[in-house]
Chains A and B, each alone.
Chain A
Amino acid sequence: MSTMVTSPAPVEAQWPLPYKGQAGMLSLIVAESSIFSIFVVAYIFYIGKNLSGPTPREVLELPIFATVCLLSSSFTIHLAVGALRKVNLGAFRLWWFITLVLGSIFLIATAREWHHLIYDKGLTIATNLFGTTYYSLVGLHALHVTVGLIGLLTVLLLALFGKVRTEHTKNVDTFAMYWHFVDAVWVVVFTVVYIIGR
């Protein structure tokens, strides 16, 4: 049958649609939020229902320092993306590196906290309902932090080899969305586990 009326190039330029990378990342964030919600619901559902074993109040200490590091890393990554947009590659690399360091500190702090809980307080995932829901929720978050750190490291290496330029701002910003999401989830997890649950 007949072909379509074709459009000259200028019309396409006037047809602005959202950037597909952001749409994809937002979709992923929706799906991940949904997974986290289920673990949060399980956590809240089982508060106070332990039949035995240590309770949150007995063993949990507020991870203030780790939280400050993680939340600051959201700020530093924001600065990094801004620097890239303004073609300030040196600042971009610096702020990006600091983000990576702050994220790593958070992960190490979590590891230390777990070591303390397991070996000093005798709390494992199999101990009781608190152990089950605590390790699974915090662990799921830590897994997402780890994936984020791998991404941060990859971008840092690419940047150090000079492959990341200002025209990649969109892509880097899309990754930063993921990092912001991970931080937002931590706010929720922190509130549920360390404040409400204790």
Chain B
Amino acid sequence: MSSESIALAGVREPSRPLGLLIHSWITTVDHKRLGILYILYSLLFLVIGGIEATIMRIQLIVPHNHFVSPQFFNQMFTMHGTTMIFFVAMPILFGFGNYLIPLMIGARDMAFPRLNAFSFWMTAFGGLLLYFSFVGGNGLYGAGAAPDVGWFAYAPLTAKTFSLGHSTDFWTLSIFVSGFGSIGVGANFVATILCMRCPRMTLGRMPLLVWLYLITAVIVLIAVSPLTAAQAMLCLDRFVGSHFFDTQAGGSAVLWMHFFWIFGHPEVYILVIPAFGFMSEIVPVFSRKPIFGYPVMVAATVAIAFISMSVWAHHMFTVGMNSYGNTFFVLTTMIIAVPTGIKIFNWLGTIWGGKIIFKTPMLFCLAFLFQFLCAGLTGIMLGAAPFNWQLANSYFVVAHFHYVIVGGILFATFAAFYYWFPKMTGRMYNETLGKIHFWLFVLGFHLTFDFMHIPGLLGMPRRIYTYEPGRGWDTWNMIVTLGAIVQGIAILVFVANLLYSAFEGKLAGNDPWDAWTLEWSTSSPPPEYNFPVIPEVRSRRPLWDVKHPEDPDWLYE
């Protein structure tokens, strides 16, 4: 049976005119195509964000460097952070969710396909709007109008008085617009997961990834809105002269911080919980065992979601809250470490006693375990408020969060790429290139982000375009820059592998990994309707039951 292809342009249907093909992709409401659009979009911005980071690192390779002007550097760190969070990490995770959720629950599409398309195009437009800032409008110093207020845009630096021209408005509006896309995705995921599961797939029989996306979607609904609200307030301040954050009129700069971080902290859980989902699907398959402690994994993630709404001011320990406020947020921050740490043990428990297969997806998962452990521990250090009074706003924090986002989330996302690439394209990636990517990236990652902690401990603040020699920061900055270049090379290997394999890779078949969830029961790539017949399941691993009829999971659950 021929399956309608969703592989890259012109591979299986060379007779189709390019114009029609592009039109079909632009007007698609198919969750698989939208998922791939999200992922490709994010990859493009990943490269752009990486270039921005490389520019910064070259500027910082030696003290008093003159590679770029201070104005341009400040735009670089603002654009890098904004791009990576809003136009790389969120879209790529939404993209995988879009692609996988209906397949994993035995549905034909998401609950609201047109809303799905709308959400993607809102996000896409937001990203284009942000980058239009480089060419549109006139900044005061003539360096283009790209925003330069930092990705969290503290007030009153964003007030019209201190941010002349429209650079800040590009920041505000681009994220505001893509925020509507995010809320659309949240609603879509919730409705799909609650209302479109195949027969007999109770909530307790969903793949863990689906559970984790459900929880993520709920956090999106609750947490993205405060940012939308705060940005609306900022726009009102800048355009109609309101005083939300106008300190001259009695407004409060700290209020912006509260609103931003009420979004900002749950945001990092929006990013990391899908990564946990990837781990929870891939590690079991490559250990040949089910996930250890499924119910506790769900409960721990629900706990994380709840507690994450109560920790936000640990980003504000230096703001001058009183000792009771500081103590409260230390408590909640420390508490959230428990369900987060437990998950590492559960993955360890999954590997324990298994038969580990060291293919590229699993390599990235194993690296995640080590790196997320470290990231969590530096997080505990930062959660101890007095320690935070030294470390906040220094390169220690920058090292910590890159450890989480790159060492954790990006590694898990690479694992997901390699794992589901055969399903999405119907072809296997090149395993050798995958391993080269892995080892190069591990090397580059550790060179950069391990050593980045040290200048922080030696007093180097973040967001500085240059630094004084003789403060003990010089050598470390040089090593950090070197690692960035190695990471860049690794990414090139990755992109080359993906592009080449999408066209020339070996055909993968339905189930190259001998896995157990529903997406592997249909063809690679799946037909537009996903399944010829809607399946019915009796356990968490329906394909295990089919492959092992003498020992099915539903006897033990």
Q: Does chain A bind chain B? A: yes
A residues adjacent to B (C-beta < 8 A)? 1-7, 11-12, 14-15, 17-21, 23-24, 26-28, 30-32, 34-35, 37-39, 42, 45-46, 49-51, 125-126, 128-129, 131-133, 135-136, 140
Q: With A23-B190, A132-B242 in contact, is A31–B222 under 8 Å at CB?
A: yes
B546 at the interface (CB under 8 A from A): yes
Q: With A4-B542, A27-B186 in contact, is A35–B229 under 8 Å at CB?
A: yes
Q: With A4-B518, A132-B236 in contact, is A126–B225 under 8 Å at CB?
A: no
B128 at the interface (CB under 8 A from A): no
- Chain A residues with Cβ below 8 Å from B262 are 38
Residues of chain B at interface, number, CB under 8 A: 60
Q: With A31-B225, A125-B236 in contact, is A20–B546 under 8 Å at CB?
A: no
Q: Are A1 and B543 in contact (CB under 8 A)?
A: yes
Q: Which 8 A/B pairs are nearest by Cβ-Cβ distance?
A: A126-B241, A4-B535, A34-B225, A27-B187, A38-B229, A7-B536, A23-B191, A20-B195
Least CB distance, B165 to chain A, in whole angstroms: 21
Q: With A6-B535, A7-B534, A20-B111 in contact, is A1–B510 under 8 Å at CB?
A: yes
15 A-B pairs within 8 Å (CB atoms) are namely A4-B518, A4-B536, A7-B199, A7-B535, A20-B194, A23-B187, A23-B194, A26-B190, A27-B186, A27-B187, A35-B228, A35-B229, A38-B259, A42-B233, A136-B232
- Chain B residues with Cβ below 8 Å from A31 are 183, 186-187, 221-222, 224-225
- Chain A residues with Cβ below 8 Å from B12 are none
- Chain A residues with Cβ below 8 Å from B509 are 1
Distance between Cα atoms of A37 and B535 in the complex (Å): 42
Q: Which of A12, A24, A28, A140 contacts B111 (CB 8 A)?
A: A24
- Please, what's the 1-or-0 string for B48-65, where 1 marks a CB less than 8 Å from any CB in chain A? 000000000000000000
Interface of A is mostly: helix
Least CB distance, A95 to chain B, in whole angstroms: 28
B5 at the interface (CB under 8 A from A): no
Q: Are A20 and B196 in contact (CB under 8 A)?
A: yes
**Residue in A closest to B224 when the chains form the complex, CB atoms:** A31
B503 at the interface (CB under 8 A from A): no
Q: Which of B495-554 contact A (CB under 8 A)?
A: 509-511, 518, 520-521, 531-537, 542-543, 546-547
Q: Other CB < 8 Å A-B pairs besides A24-B190, A34-B226, A131-B242, 11 of them?
A: A2-B521, A20-B194, A23-B194, A38-B226, A39-B233, A46-B251, A125-B240, A125-B241, A126-B243, A129-B249, A136-B242
Q: Which of B191, B224, B251, B531 contacts A20 (CB 8 A)?
A: B191
Q: Which of B182-223 contact A (CB under 8 A)?
A: 183, 186-188, 190-192, 194-197, 199-200, 217-218, 221-223
Give the interface centre of B224, B241, B243, B249 by most chain A CB atoms within 10 Å: B243
Least CB distance, B178 to chain A, in whole angstroms: 14
**Residue in A closest to B197 when the chains form the complex, CB atoms:** A17
Least CB distance, B48 to chain A, in whole angstroms: 29
B residues adjacent to A (C-beta < 8 A)? 106, 111-112, 115, 183, 186-188, 190-192, 194-197, 199-200, 217-218, 221-226, 228-230, 232-233, 236, 240-244, 249-252, 255, 259, 262, 509-511, 518, 520-521, 531-537, 542-543, 546-547
Q: With A2-B546, A15-B199, A129-B243 in contact, is A34–B534 under 8 Å at CB?
A: no
Give the interface centre of A4, A42, A45 by most chain B CB atoms within 10 Å: A4
- Chain B residues with Cβ below 8 Å from A14 are 199
- Chain A residues with Cβ below 8 Å from B259 are 38, 42
Q: Which of A2, A23, A39, A50 contacts B195 (CB 8 A)?
A: A23
- Chain B residues with Cβ below 8 Å from A12 are 199, 534
Least CB distance, A14 to chain B, in whole angstroms: 8
- Chain B residues with Cβ below 8 Å from A38 are 225-226, 229-230, 259, 262
**Residue in A closest to B533 when the chains form the complex, CB atoms:** A6
- Chain B residues with Cβ below 8 Å from A26 are 190
- Chain A residues with Cβ below 8 Å from B510 are 1
Q: Are B536 and A34 in contact (CB under 8 A)?
A: no
Distance between Cα atoms of A73 and B229 in the complex (Å): 27
**Residue in B closest to A126 when the chains form the complex, CB atoms:** B241
Least CB distance, B282 to chain A, in whole angstroms: 18
Least CB distance, A131 to chain B, in whole angstroms: 8
- Chain B residues with Cβ below 8 Å from A32 are 225
Least CB distance, A2 to chain B, in whole angstroms: 6
**Residue in B closest to A125 when the chains form the complex, CB atoms:** B242
Distance between Cα atoms of A2 and B514 in the complex (Å): 12
Q: With A34-B225, A34-B226 in contact, is A3–B521 under 8 Å at CB?
A: yes
Q: Are B221 and A34 in contact (CB under 8 A)?
A: yes
